[in-house]
Chains A and B, each alone.
Chain A
Amino acid sequence: MADEEKELQSQEAPAEGSRGEHGEKQRPARRTRTPKKEEAPGPHDTLEDLPGELARAVERIRAGLPGVEVRGRRDHWLEIRTEPSRWVEVATFLRDDPELRFDYLALLTGIDRLDDGFEVVVHLNALTSNLRLILRTQVPREEPVCPTLTGVWPGANWHEREAYDLLGIRFEGHPDLRRILLKEDWVGHPLRKDYIDRRPPRKIQVKADWERRA
């Protein structure tokens, strides 16, 4: 930090009307620079001093679910990371706890993290208190199996089917795990980072008007 400040001071704008080597007018040095990460935290970074309501919710989760990572983010979303084996237990607690009541599932999706497997991310909302929470877990790439949340929030049904279709994460216990957007005999899962489209190229030739024979 100290070096950077020195650097900044050395870049101070030259005095008014000063001339350069060849008598040209000197432009003031640009003072903007790309801020370092610790200076400009993004919305995903941890916020230590949470507002009262969020701090209470964090305490509540820590008390009810020992051994689960909880943090509050700068954009006032809580974040929980858990193992796939505790996935349904954590979700049920979050829905049923009388003080939390995360009754609204906004979004369930997956991210391909390459060698770290797949990440399943759920965005939850409590409609009465308007608390917001991100629930995430990681499943291995060789065996991408995650328990289903359809028993907790029925609205997770199609979200999970979509994640199965496009990323190949299998949701164990899902009542109707079929492909939803692609056709049933599609091979592979397109949203994986290593997906290669092996279909033969289409034989469509686009020609401009003047290139066409009459």
Chain B
Amino acid sequence: MATTSPPAQAPDVRVVPDEQDRSSSHLYVSMGPQHPSTHGVLRLKARIDGERIVDVDPDIGYLHRCFEKHSEQLTYPQIVPYTDRCDYLAAINNELTFALAVEKLLGLEVPPRAQYLRVITMELQRIASHLIAFGTFAMDLGATTAFLYCWRERESIINLLEEISGARMLFHYVRIGGVRNDVTDDWLRRVRAFVDDFISDKLPQYHRLITGNRLFVRRTKGIAVLTPEDAIAWGASGPVLRGSGVARDLRKVEPYCGIEKYDFNVPVGENGDVFDRYMVRMLEMEESAKIIKQALEGIEAGDVMAPLPRRWKVEGETYVRTEGPKGEVGCYLVGDGSDKPYRLHWRAPSFVHLQLIPVISKGLLIADLVAVIGSLDPVFGEVDR
């Protein structure tokens, strides 16, 4: 071994001379990490001139637990619940990404019924995640009512998922090789009833409540415009990329779980402002509901779990990505032939999106910073990992 980490020692503390230029009218404001509108523990170090933002420096890492190092000590099935904790508002998508990566290295075939169940739960989870994004976003802008309505619908989804997995937030339902257990026909009927009600009644309610609201539109239209060139160069994905008018959806580009058989559209925005990112999420919920309906019609009887190898020998490397509610969720997995990964890297979309805050929020009012964070929809479980 060539190097070892140096022994722990007291860090040398230096007194930094105060070199602030007091002749300018710039003021340093620290927003967070306990601010309710930062959706977690984000601290923004903002330099402001009056009400205008000159520069922002996001400070992250408050929830860091080095999940990637942990997973080097765990066997593959043991890692699945850890991935839940990354994007804890969309646990199923994380499990799915990891399961797909391991299945690819093992060469496992997942039975068709499990594929359908994965699609149904994945899209239910997407609706639940977008509901939170929408509700908290509206609440940040001062509309508390929408938040309560969103919680009502999310509760129905969580009750449905609790019934099949036993958990209300970190489901651990998608396993390597399939899903945890089968569902009853009655459960499928209730999913159908929920989706029908959601499309015909609940979603129009939200639009009546928020989308046409003059105050809301004034706060969001033309704010924090992200050009398509910038979005691509900075590696944005998901609703943030599509809000800027780039129609890229990994479900279309790199289909998984048989999603290529389904008929759905990819909504895109025009201007790339806060309103477009919001609108893309609202339209995506409709498309998710469409996918669930098709899956409920096509679902067939059968096993939900593929036979797993008795001894796990995972060899080689792969990068598997799925379209999570926040964007491209990627799992870069390097196996060395044992039952534990040699290296696991988690590509978290929120981590990449937070880089954009300094890019798009220059010159905005400080109140708009709240709208910018809400429109990027970061989740700090996956930013800090």
A interface, CB within 8 angstroms of B:
34, 37, 40, 42-45, 75, 77, 103-107, 109, 111-112, 114-115, 121, 123, 127, 130, 134, 141-142, 153-155, 157-159, 162, 166, 179-183, 185, 187-192, 194-196, 198-199
List 6 tightest A-B contacts by C-beta distance, closest first: A155-B235, A188-B5, A185-B11, A42-B316, A198-B8, A44-B316
Residues of B within 8 A of A127 (CB): 232, 246, 248
Residues of B within 8 A of A112 (CB): 343
What are 26 of the A-B contact pairs (CB < 8 Å)? A42-B316, A103-B232, A103-B233, A104-B235, A106-B321, A106-B347, A112-B343, A115-B1, A121-B332, A141-B2, A141-B3, A154-B233, A155-B234, A157-B355, A162-B351, A166-B66, A166-B68, A183-B61, A185-B11, A187-B5, A188-B6, A189-B5, A192-B5, A195-B5, A196-B5, A198-B8
> Is B384 at the interface (CB under 8 A from chain A)?
yes
> Is B330 at the interface (CB under 8 A from chain A)?
yes
Q: Is the CB of A130 within 8 A of B61?
A: no
A167 to B345 Cα, complex, angstroms? 12
Q: Is the CB of A109 within 8 A of B9?
A: no
A32 to B115 Cα, complex, angstroms? 25
Of B311, B319, B332, chain A has the most CB atoms within 10 Å of the CB of B319
A182 to B215 Cα, complex, angstroms? 40
A155 CB contact (under 8 Å) in B60, B334, B352 = B352
Give the nearest-CB partner of A157 in chain B: B355
Residues of B within 8 A of A181 (CB): 60-61, 64, 384-385
Encode contact with A along B325-356: 1 for CB under 8 Å, 0 otherwise.
00010101010000000110101000110110
Give the nearest-CB partner of A155 in chain B: B235
A214 to B243 Cα, complex, angstroms? 59
Residues of B within 8 A of A157 (CB): 355
> Is B302 at the interface (CB under 8 A from chain A)?
no
> Is B139 at the interface (CB under 8 A from chain A)?
no
CB of B176 to closest CB in A, whole Å: 16
B66 CB contact (under 8 Å) in A37, A153, A183, A190 = A190
A45 to B316 Cα, complex, angstroms? 8
A181 to B63 Cα, complex, angstroms? 9
A36 to B311 Cα, complex, angstroms? 15
Residues of B within 8 A of A182 (CB): 61, 64
Q: Is the CB of A191 within 8 A of B68?
A: yes
Q: Is the CB of B319 within 8 A of A123?
A: yes
A44 to B235 Cα, complex, angstroms? 24
Give the nearest-CB partner of A109 in chain B: B345
CB of B362 to closest CB in A, whole Å: 14
Residues of A within 8 A of B47 (CB): none
> Is B107 at the interface (CB under 8 A from chain A)?
yes
Known: A104-B232, A182-B61. Is A114-B319 also a contact (CB below 8 A)? no
> Is B105 at the interface (CB under 8 A from chain A)?
yes
> Is B317 at the interface (CB under 8 A from chain A)?
yes
A120 to B358 Cα, complex, angstroms? 26
Residues of B within 8 A of A121 (CB): 332
CB of B342 to closest CB in A, whole Å: 8
A180 CB contact (under 8 Å) in B5, B61, B105, B232 = B61
A44 to B320 Cα, complex, angstroms? 12
Interface size, B (range) = 35 or more
B2 CB contact (under 8 Å) in A115, A158, A185, A187 = A115
Q: Is the CB of B7 within 8 A of A75?
A: no
A170 to B86 Cα, complex, angstroms? 27
Of A141, A155, A189, A196, chain B has the most CB atoms within 10 Å of the CB of A155
Q: Is the CB of A75 within 8 A of B61?
A: no
Known: A112-B343, A130-B253, A154-B233. Is A198-B7 also a contact (CB below 8 A)? yes
Encode contact with A along B265-299: 1 for CB under 8 Å, 0 otherwise.
00000000000000000000000000000000000
Extra contacts, 17 of them, besides A115-B2, A123-B319, A158-B352 (Cβ < 8 A), are A34-B313, A77-B319, A107-B319, A107-B332, A114-B1, A141-B3, A155-B235, A155-B236, A155-B352, A162-B351, A180-B60, A187-B5, A187-B8, A187-B9, A194-B3, A194-B5, A198-B8
CB of B136 to closest CB in A, whole Å: 23
Residues of A within 8 A of B60 (CB): 180-181
Q: Is the CB of A43 within 8 A of B316?
A: yes
Q: Is the CB of A191 within 8 A of B61?
A: no
> Is B190 at the interface (CB under 8 A from chain A)?
no
> Is B26 at the interface (CB under 8 A from chain A)?
no
Q: Is the CB of A153 within 8 A of B316?
A: no
> Is B207 at the interface (CB under 8 A from chain A)?
no
Q: Is the CB of B8 within 8 A of A199?
A: yes
A157 to B354 Cα, complex, angstroms? 11
> Is B315 at the interface (CB under 8 A from chain A)?
yes
CB of B226 to closest CB in A, whole Å: 12
Q: Is the CB of B318 within 8 A of A44?
A: yes
> Is B35 at the interface (CB under 8 A from chain A)?
no
A121 to B318 Cα, complex, angstroms? 12
A28 to B273 Cα, complex, angstroms? 66
Residues of A within 8 A of B213 (CB): none
> Is B4 at the interface (CB under 8 A from chain A)?
yes
CB of A40 to closest CB in B, whole Å: 6
Q: Is the CB of B105 within 8 A of A43?
A: yes
Residues of A within 8 A of B168 (CB): none
Give the nearest-CB partner of B233 in chain A: A154
